[in-house]
Amino acid sequence: MGLHAILQVVFPHRCVGCGHTVAEPSGFCGPCWREAEFITGAACTGCGAPLPGEETDPAALRCDDCLTRPRPWHAGVAALVYAGTGRRFVLGLKHGDRIDLAPVAGRWLARVAGPLIRPDTVIAPVPLHRLRLLRRRYNQSALLARALAVQTGATLCPDLLERPRATPALEGADRDTRFARLDGAIRVTPRHAKHIAGRRVLIVDDVMTSGATLEAAALACHAAGSGEVSIAVLARALPGSGTGRAKATGKQPPIAHRTSGPPADARRGLAPVVPAP
């Protein structure tokens, strides 16, 4: 019995959707894959929300949310819908019991965010305030940003953004309250401002709900003199229900091709906010 087989007996991979044992650390068992709503068809170019119908002119694809509040970023993508097993996956990553799933999530993110990444792109996670970081021990968005950087070879700056003040939790807050609470709550870490001057930035978060946090992050990058800003989230929480929902495809999404390891400056910057793998 090889080491892998022994580890599988002692620490079997478990489906994050239902808890059943699975052969590979892929996150989901077969039935949960079929339930997960990966966004593979037409999607809003502002936030990645699935849209009904076939893809036509990508520039014209905007959901109601993004039409109502134009986004201060160039493009946005999401890997899955924040519902059902997709929601359970995100919560597992966020609350610590399944941080082993970050590499899987990184592959899903690379599939949707790969086309946004150029040679000068800097990947940066949405930051946690340091008190919340202490309580939670790690920043799930930083895990995702690192996993995406590993998949794509793009430069990672895990502490590009910071929250100088604590903001109340957003759970349960309405849309206007969310935007008001996050207004000016995020800034570029002063010592990193020169590193993003004129460069593209891709901001990574686990979930987009109203987009208030991502808006604060994007505005901070622009204020610091960055180039084009885009956003990539693991899951998009759709407002209301029943409109613009993607069908479950029942297929595992294609895995983005890994070109090379992260550049040296991406590896160097890993220590501050993410635990050792």
Which residue number, 65 or 206, has a Cβ lying nearer to Zn ion?
A: 65
Q: Does 214 bind Zn ion (CB under 5 A)?
A: no
Among 13, 14, 27, 32, interactor with Zn ion by CB under 5 A: 32
Which residue number, 122 or 212, has a Cβ lying nearer to Zn ion?
A: 212
Taking Cα atoms as reference points, which of 120, 118, 117, 141 lies closest to residue 129? 141
The minimum distance between CB 270 and Zn ion, in angstroms, equals 31
The minimum distance between CB 19 and Zn ion, in angstroms, equals 7
Which residue number, 48 or 269, has a Cβ lying nearer to Zn ion?
A: 48
DSSP string, the chain: --HHHHHHHHS-EE-TTT--EESSSSS--HHHHHHS-B--SSB-TTT--B-SS----GGG---HHHHHS--SSSEEEEEEESSHHHHHHHHHHHTSTTGGGHHHHHHHHHHHHGGG--TT-EEEEPPPPHHHHHHHSS-HHHHHHHHHHHHH--EE-TTSEE-SS-----TT--HHHHHHHHTT--EE-GGGGGGGBT--EEEEEEEESSSHHHHHHHHHHHHTTBS-EEEEEEEEPPSSSSSSPPPP--SPPPPPPP-SPPPHHHHHTTTTTS---
Q: Does 18 bind Zn ion (CB under 5 A)?
A: yes
> By CB under 5 A, which span of 59-67, 123-131, 183-191, 248-256 interacts with Zn ion?
59-67
Contact 233, 208 (CB under 8 A): yes
Q: Is the dihedral of CA 162, 166, 172, 176 positive or negative?
A: negative
- Binding to Zn ion, residues 124-183 (CB under 5 A): none
Q: Does 104 bind Zn ion (CB under 5 A)?
A: no
> By CB under 5 A, which span of 57-65, 152-160, 201-209, 268-276 interacts with Zn ion?
57-65
Q: Does 27 bind Zn ion (CB under 5 A)?
A: no
The minimum distance between CB 223 and Zn ion, in angstroms, equals 23
Q: Does 39 bind Zn ion (CB under 5 A)?
A: no
- Nearest-angstrom CA–CA distance, 194 and 12: 45
Among 36, 42, 47, 149, interactor with Zn ion by CB under 5 A: 47
Q: Does 42 bind Zn ion (CB under 5 A)?
A: no
- Nearest-angstrom CA–CA distance, 218 and 230: 8
Q: Does 101 bind Zn ion (CB under 5 A)?
A: no
Q: Does 66 bind Zn ion (CB under 5 A)?
A: yes
Q: Does 106 bind Zn ion (CB under 5 A)?
A: no
User: Beta partners for 81?
Assistant: 236
The minimum distance between CB 32 and Zn ion, in angstroms, equals 3
Q: Does 15 bind Zn ion (CB under 5 A)?
A: yes
Q: Does 46 bind Zn ion (CB under 5 A)?
A: yes
> By CB under 5 A, which span of 24-32, 106-114, 115-123, 142-150 interacts with Zn ion?
24-32
The minimum distance between CB 58 and Zn ion, in angstroms, equals 13
Chain positions contacting Zn ion, by CB under 5 A: 15, 17-18, 29, 32, 44, 46-47, 49, 63, 66
